[in-house]
Amino acid sequence: MTKTAAVEMVVVPCLRDNYAFLVHNRATQQTALIDAPEAAPIQAVLDGRGWTLSDILITHHHDDHIDGVGALRKGARVIGAKADVHRLPDLDLAVQDGDEVTVCGQTTHVLDVSGHTVGHIAFHMPDAGFAFTADSLMALGCGRLFEGTPAQMWESMQKLRALPDDTLICSGHEYTESNARFAASLDPDNRDLISRIKGIAAARAAGQATVPSTLTLEKRTNPFLRADLPEFKSVMGMADASAVDVFTKVRALKDRF
């Protein structure tokens, strides 16, 4: 659980390896859910704390992010991408890149982060320092490209990389250990990565989540955020290649890893 002055955040493990997030404002008694992989574990946290959902924010249309919406929504305002209204649960508010909404008293920016799907959005709460990235930027990884192109996902990575360094990246799955094995296969001498991997192994051995992570750490260790850095290009043997080509190569290698 992470506390800031105005809101606290709770990570809720769901299904096999999904994460949902609850943001609660004690002063206003509002609670927002970001993604709803399944209702029961989320409802259990709400019941345990005496919280009622005021908002449900949806990042993208995949079942493992929306299946719980119907059971949980009750009176909550459901917010999702305008581009995906045809394949999301009924929305009370349809949003797009650049929109600003107030959720739990927090100004929340909507970013289009297409790549995993076309229409995937992320939510950034700058005052709290939270970014809900689901299957775009993930801990040491990024989502598989089911619909978008590598160029689209690389653009999304750059948007997220531009957020403040201390932003907490709240991503949608516990894939970090396998992402770490892949990252180490590309960049075995990266000291930040080596020490991060030790921390990941310790956390997982203790049954702890490796999500959220800080953007600073992702920038130093996540190969999908590093496609334009000279040191990473040379590690890839692609010193003269474009960032998009390096990103494309990294994504292709990960798909076969």
| Site residues (vs Fe ion, CB under 5 A) | 64, 135, 172
Among Zn ion, Fe ion, none, residue 187 binds (CB under 5-8 Å by kind): none
Min dist. Cβ of residue 29 to Fe ion (A): 30
| Number of residues counted as binding Zn ion (CB under 5 A) | 2
Q: Which amino acid is at 249?
A: K
Contacting Zn ion within 107-136 (CB under 5 A): 135
- Cα–Cα nearest to 137, from 219, 233, 256: 219
- In angstroms, the CA 240 to CA 182 distance is 23
Min dist. Cβ of residue 229 to Fe ion (A): 27
- Count the Cβ atoms, other than its own, within 10 Å of residue 88: 21
> Which residue, 78 or 113, has its beta carbon nearer to Zn ion?
113
> Which residue, 134 or 246, has its beta carbon nearer to Fe ion?
134
Nearest residue to Zn ion, by Cβ distance, number only: 62
Give the three-class secondary structure for 113: coil
Min dist. Cβ of residue 72 to Zn ion (A): 18
> Which residue, 58 or 184, has its beta carbon nearer to Fe ion?
58
Give the three-class secondary structure for 2: strand
- In angstroms, the CA 186 to CA 182 distance is 7
Residue 62 makes contact with Zn ion by CB under 5 A: yes
- In angstroms, the CA 242 to CA 244 distance is 5
In this structure, are residues 38 and 32 in contact, taking their beta carbons and an 8 Å threshold?
no
Q: Which long-range contacts (CB under 8 A, 24 or more apart) does 202-206 make?
A: 204/176, 204/177
Among Fe ion, Zn ion, none, residue 37 binds (CB under 5-8 Å by kind): none
> Which residue, 63 or 166, has its beta carbon nearer to Fe ion?
63
Residue 84 makes contact with Zn ion by CB under 5 A: no
Min dist. Cβ of residue 4 to Fe ion (A): 26
Q: Tokens in use for 220?
A: 């130093």
Min dist. Cβ of residue 241 to Fe ion (A): 30
- Residues whose CB falls within 8 Å of the CB of residue 255, separated by 6 or more in sequence, listed in order: 144
Residue 174 makes contact with Zn ion by CB under 5 A: no
Q: Kindly list the residues in this chain that would bind Zn ion in the complex (CB under 5 A).
A: 62, 135
